[in-house]
Structure 1
Amino acid sequence: MLDSALTCALLSRSGYEFLVVDLQHSPFDVRRIEAVIGSCVGTTCSPLARVLPGRPDQIGWILDLGAHGVVVPLVNTPDDAKRAIDQCKYPPRGRRSIGAVRNLMFRGADYADVADDDVACIIQIEHVDALANLDSILDVGDIDAIMPGHIDLARSMGYKLQYGPASIPTEVTAAIAEIEQAAKKRSIPVIPVPGSLPEIEVALAKGHRVICCGTDFHTFRAAIERQIQDCRDLAAGLADPS
């Protein structure tokens, strides 16, 4: 979420297997996106990008800038899913335009031959409308993973949740379970987005093996708050005359 190539360079060298550059909710301009994705070059960390909802035209463009895949928000219909997948695949499987100059340079001369099976197309199910169309959405081929958006989903169902540890209403929990079961039936991985360590533990216990475990903004903020509190506790202890 932080539009900093240095932050992304640090994270991509810290053990994460993938990062999601959030174009949807963050102030990235074209040059900054290029720099952030480029900062992952030479690492084993795959840069993905969450594009704007309803903008399949962004997908081929962001892949040509070097992203290894996309996260597509607010996929509510089979047509939404098909438009996203079409932009991830070259003809005849899709409609992606040929123009991957950076990928040819950084990922090999055969990129265009292998990209269809290498690019990750991850869709987000995060609205009550998508639940009504769930089976038909997931029956669209070439969906590589699903990332449920529980906060947006809850909002569309009439509940208000915040990022971080939360008590999720029963109806929302049931909807997430429905998504997970439908995906499991089709062997499509689900990528949960926990907001706390206990939620990560729950996700692992449920069998999830790919987890989006936080944001740079919230991780940085939590680390700062923890450091400040530790320093204040230390200073208070030294000032204690006893």
Structure 2
Amino acid sequence: MPDALSRLQGRLFAGETVLNGWLHLPGGVSAEVMGRAGYDSLTVDLQHGLIGDGGLVATLEAIAGTPAAPLVRVPWLHPPDLMRALDAGAAGVICPMIDTPAQARALVHACRYAPQGGRSFGPTRARLVYGEDYGERADRETLVFAMIETAQAVQNLDAILGTPGLSGVYVGPGDLSLSLTGRASLDFRHGEVAPVVARIAEATLRLGLIPGIFTPGADLARAAVDLGYRFVTAGSDLALLGGAARAVVRELRGQEVLSTSPASS
């Protein structure tokens, strides 16, 4: 049976849509909850999440107990962070703020072994999880996504997509809309951002690569799939928890079932 590394890569390059969950919260329990909720993959966010580098392995271990495949969004284009994430067992990495083809080449170089790249060989946990042949499979099966989230990246999109060894691109709608319009929004369906997001998917698919995108939930995730996105994040643990909690409180307060008098025992 294929492991998470080959299974995720195979599904994406076969044209299937993969539903990804996003992890902001430290501790492994939310990773277990998300992984058992039915997501195909989970991304540990080391850039804006609260997990931190010290919590990465524990979170990956929690994901390993679920059917979901593990990815990591690293904080920045910093080769040691990329290599540590892969050595720890990430099946793929997402790197923020890739604006130029030179940065895309540097990203791939850090994630691929020689002679294709310059990743140092020492897959400590990856070899434990994926087997002794991990070194032979890693360049072929590890996913490497460059985030497209600035006007400069959009201008350089074709050159970035032409980077050998890149698996695909991943759209960050918040930063992209901020760069294009001066206002951050995750809703890419309207205004100046809409045709750009559509163009990114089309250009990526045309080259046989994987278009990915972050969305906060089901409505925008469906819109992304309709545009051709195949690696689609639909919510984070933090946002989903907060949204569910607010919905319960709104419902109860709206029905006036909460007493303002002291509780009796």
Same fold (TM over 0.5): yes
Q: CA RMSD in A?
A: 2.0
Q: Is the CA contact (8 Å cut-off) linking 2:216 and 2:236 kept in structure 1?
A: no
**2:236 corresponds to:** 215
Q: Is the CA contact (8 Å cut-off) linking 1:161 and 1:168 kept in structure 2?
A: no
Q: Is the CA contact (8 Å cut-off) linking 1:76 and 1:129 kept in structure 2?
A: yes
| Matched position secondary structure for 1:147 | strand
Q: Does 1:172 align with 2:172?
A: no
| Matched position secondary structure for 1:66 | coil
Quick one: distance in 2 between partners of 1:112 and 1:66? 12
Q: Does 1:29 align with 2:55?
A: no
**2:263 corresponds to:** none
Alignment match of 1:181 (pick from 193, 198, 202): 202
How much has 1:49 moved relative to structure 2? 0.7
How much has 1:233 moved relative to structure 2? 4.3
Which string of whole-angstrom CA distances, capped at 9 and with x for unpartnered residues, describes residues 94-143 of structure 1? 11111112122221111111111121101111001112211111111122
Quick one: distance in 2 between partners of 1:104 and 1:201? 36
Amino acid at match of 1:213: A
Gaps of 5+ in 2: 1-23, 260-265
**2:165 corresponds to:** 142
Q: Does 1:18 align with 2:41?
A: yes
Q: Does 1:77 align with 2:95?
A: no
How much has 1:177 moved relative to structure 2? 2.2
Higher relative contact order (CA 8 A, sep 6+): 2
Q: Does 1:203 align with 2:231?
A: no
| Matched position secondary structure for 2:145 | strand
The number of residues matched between the two structures is 236
TM-score normalized by structure 1?
0.89
**1:46 corresponds to:** 69
| Matched position secondary structure for 1:212 | strand
**Between Structure 1 and Structure 2, which shows a larger proportion of strand residues?**
2
How much has 1:149 moved relative to structure 2? 1.3
Identity %: 28
Q: Does 1:8 align with 2:31?
A: yes
Q: Does 1:156 align with 2:179?
A: yes
Q: Does 1:109 align with 2:132?
A: yes
How much has 1:210 moved relative to structure 2? 2.7
Distance 1:175 1:6, change over 3 A: same
Quick one: distance in 1 between partners of 2:165 and 2:175? 24
Q: Does 1:95 align with 2:118?
A: yes
Distance 1:169 1:229, change over 3 A: closer
Which string of whole-angstrom CA distances, capped at 9 and with x for unpartnered residues, describes residues 18-58 of structure 1? 11111111233333111111112243211111112231321
| Matched position secondary structure for 1:129 | helix
Amino acid at match of 2:133: D
Q: Does 1:193 align with 2:224?
A: no
Distance 1:33 1:237, change over 3 A: closer
Quick one: distance in 1 between partners of 2:176 and 2:26? 26
How much has 1:167 moved relative to structure 2? 6.8
Quick one: distance in 2 between partners of 1:66 and 1:55? 18
Q: Does 1:129 align with 2:152?
A: yes
Amino acid at match of 2:165: D
Distance 1:200 1:155, change over 3 A: same
Quick one: distance in 2 between partners of 1:200 and 1:106? 30
Gaps of 5+ in 1: none
Amino acid at match of 2:197: I
Quick one: distance in 1 between partners of 2:91 and 2:227? 27
TM-score normalized by structure 2?
0.82
Q: Does 1:68 align with 2:91?
A: yes
